[in-house]
Amino acid sequence: MATLNGTAGNDTLIGTGQGDVINGLDGNDSLSGLGGNDFIDGGLGNDTIDSGVGDDNIAGGDGNDLLIVNYSGSTTSVTANSFGLVTNNLNSSVNFTGIERISVTGGSGDDSFLGGFGIFDSFNGGGGSDTVNGVDFSSLTTNITIVEGTSQTLASSIDSVTNIERFQNITLGSGNDSFVSSGLFDNGIINTGAGNDTVNPGLGSDNVSGGAGNDLLIVDYSSSATPVTANGPSRFISNGAGSAVSYSEFEWVSVTGGSANDSFTGASGVIENFQGGGGVDTVNGADFSSSVTVITLIDGSSNTVTSSTDSIVNIERLINPTLGAGNDTFTSTDLFSNGTIRGGAGDDSINAGLGIDTVFGGTGNDFLIIDYSAATTSVTVNTTAGSAANGQGSTTSFFEFERVSVLGGSGNDSFTGSSSVNDTFHGGAGNDIASQVDFSSLTTALSITDGTSTTLSSSKDSVVSIERFRSITLGTGNDSFISSGAFDSTLVGNAGNDTINPGLGFDSVIGGTGNDLLVIDYSSATGVVTSSGTFVTNNPSSTVQFTEFERISILAGSGNDILTSADGLIAVFQGNAGNDSLTGASAQDSLVGGTGNDRLDGGLGNDTLIGGSGNDTYILDSLGDVLIENPAEGTDVVQTSISFALAANLENLVLTGTNAINGTGNTLNNSITGNTAANVLDGGTGNDTLIGGTGNDTYKVDSSTDVVTETSTLATEIDTVHASASFTLGSNLEILILTGSAAINGTGNTLKNTITGNSGANLLDGSSGDDTLNGSGGDDTLNGGTGNDQHIGGIGNDTYIINSVGDVIVENASEGTDGVQSSITYTLGVNLENLVLTGTSALSGTGNNLNNRITGNTGVNTLVGGIGSDTLIGGGANDVLTGGTENDFFQFSSTADKIDTITDFSKVSGNQDKIQVSASGFGGGLTVGTLTSSRFVQGIGATNTSQRFIYDPGTGNLFFDIDGLGGATQVQIAILATKPNLAAADIVVL
């Protein structure tokens, strides 16, 4: 045993073979231990240390040191690792530290070398089957070819190997390398580095990384009797019998299965080749999109497809396949779920079978076949949503198809089409429904009745054995569609004169071009039916939204329905039971109220309104409107914005708007109400009520029982009543005109009235107010009442009744013999003949230049005849009578007339006055005619029994004695103020 120490220079130290201690110290030393159990320390410098044999401990020290271990003579297995131990597993071993490079030579045994750890490794396997774990050839740019099981020699600037048969955890170079393993050996981690590499890891449990470049992984499990599983997304392949490959960064993957039922799942971005071998093999995610040839795939049969993307050989099942650019066919017939099937380009035909599938047609004119004909439950298909289900677990979601054919089963199937798909729906047995189907290409007339089996074929959609339709587009003929159920639909009539009844659901209906009719039957409805513009609602169970219809017919139910049409739409509304509101628009509508108190408004156009039973309201705005009301069908009212005469069996009329229009009644007891303008209201026969509003209204009445009501109190409005029967003006009425020729009366109110008579004998009474009375023709009586009234008698022997000093009488010449009855002092105007003072007040009455007859009242009157041959009648008080010029008459009816004073009794020729007495009023046996002389005596009393009138010329007192010298007392009847020489001839008995 020796201790050898170097110097500061580059030393060469060789041991004795007896367990030496060798210290190189400074310098780039060469140290050799030879035999024995040596301790060698390189010290400073880049040292080379040869351990020799024995159990040695090596310390490289500072610098870039190389350890050489040569066990080439060993017959046992050499084990070396770069982190500090080399042994021949017999009588030699090396423990080392501080070594940057190591060179190990094995012997004839099966050696195992573990490299790495930042150390440059050089492994020489020698004889035997040697394995290197953890070598790095990444610095090599030349192509590496490694075939495991054969002796391999490689040298790089990192690691080098000689006579190595097996590799674990190897990193290849940057060339186009090839690594092929066979058997069950586990290669650990294989990193290919850059370059287009090919790796076949064999049958072990391997982890392979392709690195940069276009790399190919080959996994051959053809000998496997257990199911092979390849999962591209997870980058994992297993044969189920202990062999497995985890991989990454490969652009190509080729997997060969064995004799069992293998399962392959492809990955996006990877070109894969799956070979099934024996068994029923499944590929998930195969991509044949690069193929331009026609692909025909039949699920359940062995399929082989080659493309520049993915390829398959002997594959029976396909999940999530992508077909090519040709006119491909994919057919599945059983319950297998094919996942997502993508048609790619080309005109593809796909039958996804009975699994749970998602299908994309891709570009081209693609055809999807869904065969659920064996289903006994309800099939549901929606080509708009791209969904199909047979109710027994089979579903298909589909997209990008131009044609879809669906076969339903024996259940009640539901099919929904798409505007972008040519659909064919076979209903099969059951009560089947088709929605969103388009027959617009058909030119022949269609007749579809919901609930009956229908078969139609068109260039767009086709149906076979379909009983119900929801959302349908009809053809261009005169089509008919009738629905009766509570289904939600969208119906399009298209061209032609179509008739559509959408039923009782929530529907959207488009008439299209042509003269189309929408029929809505809500007769069974108990809620409120409403229609407005383009909506009809049976709240809350049904709604129809419609457009492009020229005609609409709605039969409402028993609720209080509100139906309103729209412009350009001919409406036929039937209210049925309930208090309904039916409103037309601009067309010629027909509205039938039915039972109940209905409101019918035809709108513009010549409409027909039929109220039915109940108290109905008609709204009228066209002369062409026709109102039909049968007898005993309630009390009805017409509201009109035009002049209108009530038809038979209509009771009431209300004028609306602001135009000056007229309203006329019929033979019933009508109520007619005006609007805000100047109206003419004529009740007709019957006991009518006429009600005006603002405006200068005219009322026509024919019965005293007619009632006229004027609601406006505006002083600027003048309202007129034309009456053919006696009539009294109500409040707020100004003018009354009597019509016809009957002797009827007209009475005013408190306003300033104008009352005009007819050609008959009328009694016109102004009541209070400053009135104007016009008798017109006939012997009229005009009484202005209180107020300053104007009286115009007109033709006939008229009577004027005066109550106010402001009263004015207008009487034209040659218009009859007219009389004035005045309760005030009064002087007759021109052309008035007679005056009668009324009441009990002390009044004066004065005549004119006509032959007047002036009669006093019971008060003390002063009566003056004026010019003309007048007759003055004092009455029952002590009156003063002045005859005036010409031959006047002073008339006494009885001794009860008290004592009148005659101021100007004259016997002058041309002015010869007379006293007239009533034979019946005075009695005493007077006979009509000039009083006989035996009945007259001048003096203070009678001198015989024949004398009746006693005149005292001295006093001018005139007495009457009923029995002359009999027992009765004479009674003074007059005082003649002029004390004329009165004689019997001056008294006339009437």
Q: If we measure between CA atoms, which residue out of 593, 522, 510, 586 comes closest to residue 554?
A: 522
Q: How confident is the model at residue 608 (pLDDT cuts 50, 70, 90)?
A: very high
pLDDT at residue 969 in the model: 94
Q: If we measure between CA atoms, which residue out of 834, 838, 916 comes closest to residue 868?
A: 834
The rounded mean pLDDT for the chain is 91
pLDDT at residue 9 in the model: 92
Residues 688, 701: Cα–Cα separation, whole Å? 8
CB 588 within 8 A of CB 603: no
- For 823-851, the pLDDT digits (tens) are 999 999 999 999 999 999 999 999 999 99
Residues 60, 65: Cα–Cα separation, whole Å? 6
Handedness of CA 587, 590, 596, 600 (dihedral sign): positive
pLDDT at residue 244 in the model: 92
Residues 893, 874: Cα–Cα separation, whole Å? 9
pLDDT at residue 906 in the model: 95
pLDDT at residue 372 in the model: 93
| Domain locations in the chain as residue ranges | 1-128, 135-154+171-279, 516-634, 887-990
Q: Is residue 515 helix, strand or coil?
A: coil
Q: How confident is the model at residue 271 (pLDDT cuts 50, 70, 90)?
A: confident
Return all residues near 81 (Cβ < 8 A) that are at least 6 apart: 113, 114, 115
Residues 943, 940: Cα–Cα separation, whole Å? 9
Half-sphere exposure of 266 (CA within 13 A, CB side): 28
Residue 721: Cβ within 10 Å count: 29
What stretches of 212-304 show up as alpha helix (H) in DSSP?
A: none
Return all residues near 202 (Cβ < 8 A) that are at least 6 apart: 148, 180, 181, 182, 183, 184, 185, 187, 243
829: its two tokens: 């105007």
pLDDT at residue 486 in the model: 74
- For 177-207, the pLDDT digits (tens) are 999 987 777 888 899 988 999 999 888 888 9
Q: What is the mean pLDDT of residues 555-560?
A: 91
Residue 714: Cβ within 10 Å count: 9
- For 868-915, the pLDDT digits (tens) are 999 999 988 999 999 999 999 999 999 988 999 999 999 998 899 999
Phi-psi region of 103 (alpha: psi -120 to 50; beta: other; left: phi over 0): beta
Euclidean distance between the first and the last CA atom of the chain, given in angstroms as a whole number: 204
Beta strands 529-532 and 535-538, pairing class:
antiparallel
Q: Report whether pLDDT(778) > 90.
A: yes
Residues 321, 307: Cα–Cα separation, whole Å? 13
Q: Report whether pLDDT(1) > 80.
A: no
Cis peptide before 502 (omega within 30 of 0): no
988: its two tokens: 């006339």
Give pTM, 2 decimals: 0.60
Residue 419: DSSP 8-state: T
- For 105-141, the pLDDT digits (tens) are 989 999 888 887 678 888 898 999 988 988 889 889 9
Q: Report whether pLDDT(325) > 80.
A: yes
- For 482-536, the pLDDT digits (tens) are 887 777 778 888 899 999 888 888 888 888 999 999 898 888 888 888 888 788 8
Return all residues near 881 (Cβ < 8 A) that are at least 6 apart: 863, 872, 874, 890, 900, 901, 902, 903
Q: Is residue 262 helix, strand or coil?
A: coil
Phi-psi region of 977 (alpha: psi -120 to 50; beta: other; left: phi over 0): alpha
Tokens 């708009």, residue located: 384
Q: Is residue 975 helix, strand or coil?
A: strand
Q: What is the rounded (10 degree) CA torsion for 288, 290, 293, 298?
A: 10
Half-sphere exposure of 558 (CA within 13 A, CB side): 3
Residue 933: Cβ within 10 Å count: 12
Q: If we measure between CA atoms, which residue out of 328, 223, 335 comes closest to residue 277?
A: 223
Residue 422: DSSP 8-state: E
pLDDT at residue 400 in the model: 94
Handedness of CA 229, 230, 235, 239 (dihedral sign): positive
Instruction: State the burial class of residue 988 (Cβ atoms within 10 Å of its Cβ: 0-12, 13-18, 19+).
Output: middle
| DSSP string computed for 944-974 | SSS--EEEETTTTEEEE-TTTTSSSPPEEEE
Q: Report whether pLDDT(444) > 80.
A: yes
CB 230 within 8 A of CB 239: no
Q: How confident is the model at residue 922 (pLDDT cuts 50, 70, 90)?
A: very high
pLDDT at residue 182 in the model: 77
Residues 600, 580: Cα–Cα separation, whole Å? 8
CB 104 within 8 A of CB 78: yes
Q: In which element (H, E) is residue 198 found?
A: strand 198-200
Q: What is the mean pLDDT of residues 222-242?
A: 92
Helices (H) and strands (E) in the chain, counts: 1, 108
Q: How confident is the model at residue 298 (pLDDT cuts 50, 70, 90)?
A: confident
Handedness of CA 354, 355, 356, 358 (dihedral sign): negative
Measured in residues, the chain has a length of 990
pLDDT at residue 258 in the model: 92
